[in-house]
Structure formats: structure tokens, C-alpha cells
Amino acid sequence: MEIKKIKLWYKETIVNTAMKALEEKNYAVSSVPTKSDALKLVMGMIPEGSTVGTGGSMTVSEVGLLDAIEIGNFKFYNQYRTGLSEDKANEMRTQGLLADYYITGTNAITITGELINLDGFGNRVAAITYGPKKVIIIVGINKFVNSIEEGIHRVRHYAAVLNSKRFNRLLPCTETGKCNDCHATDRICNHLLVTYRQHKKGRVSIVIVDEELGF
């Protein structure tokens, strides 16, 4: 078999295995080929007039959802809107926790259907756990891992380090490129959540995109 075909087989097998596992764990799961398909799909899932919250995610931004929701007919609690004071941004984070819809990404996802997330403030992990009526998680093909342990390693030693750099923080990891489990005031990784399954069937939807998205 050609190398290209073997790689395609591997990717499809991983995604199909994960989709089946996620459905068994009460998620509504879809898979789309591209970012623009994901944008169309997610926008179609949120009725006009809904309140919408969001949690820190490069994936959501890369898909174009922040911009699309901002200009749409929604009440969007967007803490990333330019010019917001710290107090106002915090108010948005809090209001997002009671929104009709919450859109975010995940730092890692196992092929057995667990999500692993690491937060600075903790609003995103709170929303995934409880609060918003519906949560939509968009995930790129690069976020799949084989186990919870591998996922935790990925988020602590890769995603968190790259996110620290993205925020231009002066931290041990932005000096050395590896996590030093620091005690810095500006530490971006404070709350680690492993989601084994969802309690309420269909509350959380997962949209898998066949592209590399986020860190």
C-alpha cells in the first residue's frame, strides 16, 4: 500500500474510533473536512438570538467563529473584544458561563473519548463541566492522543508552553521552551480538567476538523 494511503487509513481509523467512543460517552459528534465546513456547521447549530460565550481557543478563532458570531444576531459575551477593560472582560467570562451556547476548543482528546484541558482562569473548564446549556467543542486532527497520560503531557509540556509564548509572557517556559512547573504570577496553566464523559446526553457537541488547528 502507498505511504499516502497508509497515513489516510491511520487518520480515518483514529477519527472513527474516537467518534464511536465519544458517542458512547454522551457527546454529539460530527466530522468535517475543512475549517470553512466547521464554520458553516457550527453557525447552523446556534439559533439566532441566542446568548453565546466562549473560552480561550486558537481553534475557535482560526475557524472564524469569533468574527462570525460577533457580527451575527447573537448576544455574544466576548472577552476578547478589542478595548475591553479587565473588569469588563471578567464580566464577559462570567456571563459566558450561563450562556445558551458556549464555543471552545480542547487541548487534547484521546481516541478513547476523554478530553484534557488546562486553563489559566478556569472559566473554560468550568463551562465544559457545567453551566452553559450547550457547549460546542471544535477540535483539529492534531489534538488526538492515545491516552489520558499522553494528553496531560501534551497540554502541560507543549500547548501551555506555546500559549505562554503566544501571550508574550515572561515565564520560565518562554525562556527554555519547556515547562518548569513555575510559581510565576503570570502562570497560564492553573486548572487541569480530565473529562471522562458527559452526564447529559447531547449537551456537548464535538466537531472534528480534518486540519491542524491551534496548538
Q: Considering only residues 21, 173, 193, 209, which one is a binding residue for ligand SF4 as defined by CB under 6 A?
A: 173
Q: Does 181 bind ligand SF4 (CB under 6 A)?
A: yes
Q: Considering only residues 39, 103, 108, 171, which one is a binding residue for ligand SF4 as defined by CB under 6 A?
A: 171
Q: Considering only residues 32, 46, 188, 206, which one is a binding residue for ligand SF4 as defined by CB under 6 A?
A: 188
Q: Which of 172, 168, 176 is nearest to 184 (CA)?
A: 172
Q: Considering only residues 180, 200, 201, 202, which one is a binding residue for ligand SF4 as defined by CB under 6 A?
A: 180
> Based on CB atoms, which residue is closest to ligand SF4, 114 or 119?
119
Q: Characterize the bridge pairing of strands 191-195 and 144-145.
A: unpaired
Dihedral over Cα of 37, 110, 53, 198: its sign: positive
Q: Does 99 bind ligand SF4 (CB under 6 A)?
A: no
Give the amino acid at 79.
Q
* Paired residues of 89 in beta bridges: none
Q: Considering only residues 108, 189, 208, 213, which one is a binding residue for ligand SF4 as defined by CB under 6 A?
A: 189
Element (H, E) at 209: strand 204-209
Grid cell digits, residue 207: 466537531
Question: Applying CB under 6 A, which residues contact ligand SF4?
Answer: 160-161, 164, 171-173, 179-182, 184, 187-189
